[in-house]
Amino acid sequence: MQKFITANGTALRIDDRGEAPTTLVLLHGYLESLEIWEEFAERLSPQYRILSIDIPGHGISQVTGEVHTMEYVADTLKGVLDRQNVPRCFVAGHSMGGYAALAFADRYPEAVQGLVLLHSTPDADTEEKKANRQREIELVRNDKKELIARLFAPKVFAEENRRRLSERIAQLEESIQMTDDDGITALLNGMMLRSDRNDRLRTLRIPTLFVFGRHDEFIPAETAERIAAGHPEAETAWLDRSGHMGFIEEPDTTADLVRSFIERHADAE
């Protein structure tokens, strides 16, 4: 059920469905909203309580400043969980949502039963990536969000899936064009400021699953392999026919990976 609440001084939209004892939080990526999870949540809600939010600045949630740090998003999520009476949960974050999930685990490790990082990374932005984000900010400021939507939406899917998923690409383009300009820049600024969390992830001792796509243009396979090799304490799974959106491109396989991970770790202390 969707509703609006206030958490961490921020008005935001959430979706809370299912009544199972185990809760899975879904955090969407950059230029997305909680609606991106609709079909994936339907697959998992019979087994788990599924809680998703519009990350502040995206969807219908409030923009509160010029910079939305990942720590601010994490604190907002903690406020949501407190309001919804969720003391511990699994957290799955897609892309930017993974950055927020890592920040949440860093700040509130006692609340996290396990982390699923879908097409995401504990690395900080490189200087090249920061420069690209700054160019996106300039495009938004110059009223060229339509160009961002047209270039970004197809690129997140593997080339072999773009025709099959053309309707989803069109929906994402439309969603991007409706995203608040200030919200986009606030989250771009927040992503640029985030710290490297590789060392912290190794010491947290929280069960972690990386899910990577073999055809991801944002996290190339060689980068994903480096991340996986640097985290032998974590589990790694590959989606052979996906780009950056495996939960849409290969939804059944991704859902099975998440279910299996949760079932292995749901009773862990």
Q: What is the CATH number of the domain that holds 258?
A: 3.40.50.1820
Mean pLDDT of 130-150: 97
259 CA to centre of own chain: 17
Residue 263's Cβ-count burial label (10 Å; 0-12, 13-18, 19+) is exposed
Q: Is the pLDDT of residue 269 over 80?
A: no
**DSSP per-residue string spanning the chain:** -EEEEEETTEEEEEEEE---SSEEEEE--TT--GGGGHHHHHHHTTTSEEEEE--TTSTTPPP-SS---HHHHHHHHHHHHHHTT-SSEEEEEETHHHHHHHHHHHH-GGGEEEEEEES--SPPPPHHHHHHHHHHHHHHHTT-HHHHHHHHHHHTS-GGGTTTTHHHHHHHHHHHHHS-HHHHHHHHHHHHHPPP-HHHHHHH---EEEEEETT-SSS-HHHHHHHHHT-TTSEEEEETT-SS-HHHHSHHHHHHHHHHHHHHHTT--
The two beta strands, 49-53 and 23-27, are parallel
Beta-carbon contacts of residue 94 (< 8 Å; ≥ 6 apart): 26, 27, 28, 29, 32, 36, 118, 119, 120, 245, 247
Q: Is the pLDDT of residue 268 over 80?
A: no
Share of the chain above pLDDT 90, in %: 98
Structural domains of the chain, count: 1
CA distance linking residue 81 with residue 75, whole number of Å: 10
Distances from the Cα of 146 to the Cα of 3, 78, 174, 187, angstroms: 29, 33, 9, 18
Mean pLDDT for the chain?
97
Q: Is the pLDDT of residue 267 over 90?
A: no
Residue 46 belongs to what domain range? 2-265
Q: Summarize pLDDT for 15-46 with one digit per residue, the tens.
A: 999 989 999 999 999 999 999 999 999 999 99
Phi, psi of 132 (to 5 degrees): -65, -40
pLDDT at 99: 98
pLDDT at 26: 98
Q: Summarize pLDDT for 154-194 with one digit per residue, the tens.
A: 999 999 999 999 999 999 999 999 999 999 999 999 999 99
CA distance linking residue 195 with residue 17, whole number of Å: 33
Mean pLDDT of 204-231: 98
Query: Which tokens go with 63?
Result: 């923009």
pLDDT at 187: 98
pLDDT at 20: 95
Q: Is the pLDDT of residue 106 over 70?
A: yes
